[in-house]
Amino acid sequence: NAGVTQTPKFRVLKTGQSMTLLCAQDMNHEYMYWYRQDPGMGLRLIHYSVGEGTTAKGEVPDGYNVSRLKKQNFLLGLESAAPSQTSVYFCASSYGGAGWETQYFGPGTRLLVL
């Protein structure tokens, strides 16, 4: 099992450009999440999905869109990148959404917006 994988690993964008980050999991998990990690702030939830075809907003959703067309994939889109979106993005998945469910994380995508 590869677990949770993310593509790409690193990307540089210019302000105003768009891009899509891909997350894939092979654990048959229902729930998937996108977080961003900024220095001194820990990880913050951007969007999440409780199953194929569903998405919901997290703590910091502005400037991002997501889609979950297939159970194993969760896409994070930036329509018009801004320097404030420079961050490390982590995807995670869990079998369910209950409090005791453990979230398993991908290796991260480092994004630099110039």
Partner 1 sequence: AQKVTQAQTEISVVEKEDVTLDCVYETRDTTYYLFWYKQPPSGELVFLIRRNSFDEQNEISGRYSWNFQKSTSSFNFTITASQVVDSAVYFCALKRGGATNKLIFGTGTLLAVQP
48 is an interface residue for partner 1 by CB under 8 A: yes
Give the span between the Cα atoms of 57 and 24, in whole angstroms: 19
Q: CA-CA distance, 67 to 56, in Å (whole number)?
A: 10
> Residue 15 is encoded by which pair of tokens?
């302000």
Query: Is residue 98 at the binding interface for partner 1, with CB under 8 A as the rule?
Result: yes
Determine if 106 is a binding residue for partner 1 (CB under 8 A).
yes
Is 22 a residue that touches partner 1 (CB under 8 A)? no
Q: Give the largest CA-CA distance in the chain.
A: 40
Told to check if 50 binds partner 1 by CB under 8 A, we report: yes
**Is 89 an interacting residue with respect to partner 1 (CB under 8 A)?**
no
Q: Which stretch binds partner 1 (CB under 8 A): 20-28, 52-60, 63-71, 76-84?
A: 52-60
Do 93 and 34 form a contact (C-beta atoms < 8 A)?
A: no
